[in-house]
Amino acid sequence: MEEHELPRVLQQLWGIEGRSRPGPKPAFQVQDIGDAAIKLADAGGLGAVSMSKVAAELGVTTMALYRYVEAKDDLYVVMLDQAFGLPPEVGEAADWRERITTWAEAFQAALQKHPWILQVPVVEPPLSPNQLVWMEEGLRAFEHTPLTPTDRMSAMQLVNIYVRGTTGLSASMLSMPPEEAAAAGKQYLRRLRGLATPDRFPTIAAGLDEPQDYIDNDPSEFYFGLTTVLDGIQTLISRRN
Amino acid sequence: MEEHELPRVLQQLWGIEGRSRPGPKPAFQVQDIGDAAIKLADAGGLGAVSMSKVAAELGVTTMALYRYVEAKDDLYVVMLDQAFGLPPEVGEAADWRERITTWAEAFQAALQKHPWILQVPVVEPPLSPNQLVWMEEGLRAFEHTPLTPTDRMSAMQLVNIYVRGTTGLSASMLSMPPEEAAAAGKQYLRRLRGLATPDRFPTIAAGLDEPQDYIDNDPSEFYFGLTTVLDGIQTLISRRN
DNA sequence: GCACACTGTGTACGACATAGACAGACCATA
DNA sequence: TATGGTCTGTCTATGTCGTACACAGTGTGC
């Protein structure tokens, strides 16, 4: 009923079949197109994904893709769903912190494996199957806590946002060779030191004397921030009791 | 010295003057180009910003822009710096929570005034003057706390990420007329209800019975999440004592 | 067996970012 | 004050992109 109002891509992703129809058989499924596009994006960033390149990858004309996908945005939807795949089951860990942490780690791993995800223009909230599974699993992490459903949604979105944000800051770095990334970091620090002079930017400058990296993406930074986020949620939980 | 290695856009934004030179006087400054681009982006989203449209806005050929800007990415840098402008001074509030809250509110206000900011592809960490002022001011909010400089940077980035994230979720909604946005929200809920059936998605479905909106962007949601984030930082502060 | 919906193809268009060559404008120096 | 050299804006051109449209062939339900 309601599902018939769904955009065609979502129908395809959810496997809602159109009845068998006359005419030649389609040569592939949207998923195949998604796979080809993901392959290109993994190799060359989202910019490397064009209709013609995807079509070439599949050995097909550009316009053939439009038999499977109404517009390029639809292709993005498919790519996202495929790239996320299924989350790990949070399962049996007793502690909600432990559960949401594995979820966050898996989320981060997906973003690091496919850094282009963060560049996909977001036009609508997610409705594709795998994304809903991630959502379900994220919410399940807060089972057996006094949080209300709305609380849980907020908490999960907070973690979601945090992971996207921290990974995003270093996302452009992820797509380059490590020594180049390190060089870029050094260069940034050098420039920042040159511009953020102690007279006009005392507070920034105060941090620049510190030995360590101060701005960026070593893995401990991830857990440091995540801890802070989870501490905030902990406070919320305590308050709900 | 070091500043001479800066990309030209940044030199221009920081007002590092090239010596007076032969040849015709430039008709404008990068800032004028930024203003024109911002005008277009405010009206039609980032997609409405093309070199030719900006040039037309200024009454000039497309290629003329390349005398001021090396590539379109440079234009984005200028746009961001102009669009953020200067943050409010956090000033005298004694409480760090109060200070960082005004900072976050101002940040959110900027994002809501220029929703396209969130669509600008981020290629490098910020080095433009106004962005550094925002950074300085954000860090200053944690003065008189036991947080180390690195802690302050992390805390500020956490708030930064949070504001970007929450505002981003509703960013596409911000650029449409309110009744249309409301309709889109309703439609999303309807579809979610249809797809997230209680058998396969019990935890999602549990929240869908709630009367209120559950997923989205009323303003109280902003403070709710912000409070959680600040509570996390509070825990960090306590731990540092 | 046949009609017709559906497939992949070819061609075409307008928008875009940017390269390169050019004509004129102006400042620093002579 | 004259002038050389350099910078400005313009014009033209190229390759890529997303997508509209018309066509020819294909295969299923009747």
pLDDT per residue rounded down to tens, chain A (241 residues): 334 478 999 999 999 876 677 778 888 999 999 999 999 999 999 999 999 999 999 999 999 999 999 999 999 999 999 999 999 987 777 799 999 999 999 999 999 999 999 999 988 899 999 999 999 999 999 999 999 999 999 999 999 999 999 998 777 777 777 788 888 888 999 999 999 999 999 999 999 887 666 555 577 889 999 999 999 999 999 999 8
CA dist B21 to B1, B13, B25, B33, Å?
Answer: 20, 19, 9, 21
CB-based contact, B234 to chain A, within 8 Å: yes
Report the alpha-carbon distance of residue A30 to residue A43 in Å, rounded: 20
H/E stretch holding A136: helix A129-140
How is residue B129 written in tokens?
């003057």
Exposure class string for A69-106: b at 16+ Cβ within 10 A, else e: beeeebbbbbbbbbbbeebeebeeeeebbebbbbbbeb
Q: What is the pLDDT of residue B104?
A: 98
Report the alpha-carbon distance of residue A30 to residue A68 in Å, rounded: 6
Average pLDDT over chain B reads 91
CB-based contact, B165 to chain A, within 8 Å: yes
Phi, psi at A210, each rounded to 5°: -60, 145
Q: What is the pLDDT of residue B1?
A: 34
In the numeric block, the tokens 């840098």 are attached to: B77
Q: Which residues from chain A sit within 8 angstroms of residue B11, using beta carbons?
A: none
Q: Which residues from chain A sit within 8 angstroms of residue B204, using beta carbons?
A: 132, 135-136, 139
Exposure class string for B139-174: b at 16+ Cβ within 10 A, else e: bbbbeebebebbbbbbbbbbbbbbbbbbbbbbbbbb
Q: What is the pLDDT of residue A94?
A: 79
Report the alpha-carbon distance of residue B178 to residue B183 in Å, rounded: 9
How is residue A224 written in tokens?
């440091």
CA distance A187 to chain B (A): 10
Give pairs for B216-225: CB < 8 Å, separation 24+. B216/B169, B216/B170, B216/B173, B216/B185, B217/B166, B217/B169, B217/B170, B217/B173, B221/A154, B221/B166, B222/B108, B222/B166, B224/A154, B225/A154, B225/A157, B225/A158, B225/B162, B225/B166
Report the alpha-carbon distance of residue A188 to residue A170 in Å, rounded: 13
Distance A127 CA to C4 C1' (A): 35
Report the alpha-carbon distance of residue A51 to residue A56 in Å, rounded: 9
Alpha carbon distance, N-terminus to C-terminus of chain A: 41
Check residues 190 to 229 of chain A and report those whose beta carbon is under 7 Å from nucleic acid strand D. Answer: none
Q: Taking 50 as the threshold, does the pLDDT of residue B114 lie above it?
A: yes
Per the CB < 8 Å rule, is B143 touching A196?
no
Q: How many CB atoms lie within 10 A of CB B189?
A: 16
Cα torsion at B231, B150, A189, A47 (round to 10°)?
-30
Q: Which residues from chain A sit within 8 angstroms of residue B165, using beta carbons?
A: 157, 160-162, 164-165
Q: Compare CB distances from A165 to B161, B194, B233 and report the shortest one's residue.
A: B161
Report the alpha-carbon distance of residue A58 to residue A26 in Å, rounded: 13
- The residue type found at B88 is P
In Å, how far from its chain's centre is CA B143? 23
Report the alpha-carbon distance of residue A11 to residue A207 in Å, rounded: 52
How is residue B117 written in tokens?
């900011």
Q: Taking 80 as the threshold, does the pLDDT of residue B195 lie above it?
A: yes
C24: residue with closest CA to C1': B24
Calculate ∠ Cα A9-A13-A18, nearest 5°. 75
Residues of chain B numbered 24-83 and touching chain A (CB < 8 Å): none
Question: Is the dihedral angle over the CA atoms A42, A45, A46, A52 positive or is it negative?
Answer: negative
Calculate ∠ Cα B175-B176-B180, nearest 5°. 155
* Spatial contact of A190 and B2, defined as CB atoms under 8 Å apart: yes
Instruction: Count Cβ atoms within 10 A of the Cβ of residue A177 and give its class: 0-12 exposed, 13-18 middle, 19 or more buried.
Output: exposed
Q: What is the pLDDT of residue B211?
A: 61
Does the CB of B194 fall within 7 Å of any strand D atom? Answer: no
Per the CB < 8 Å rule, is A201 touching B236?
no
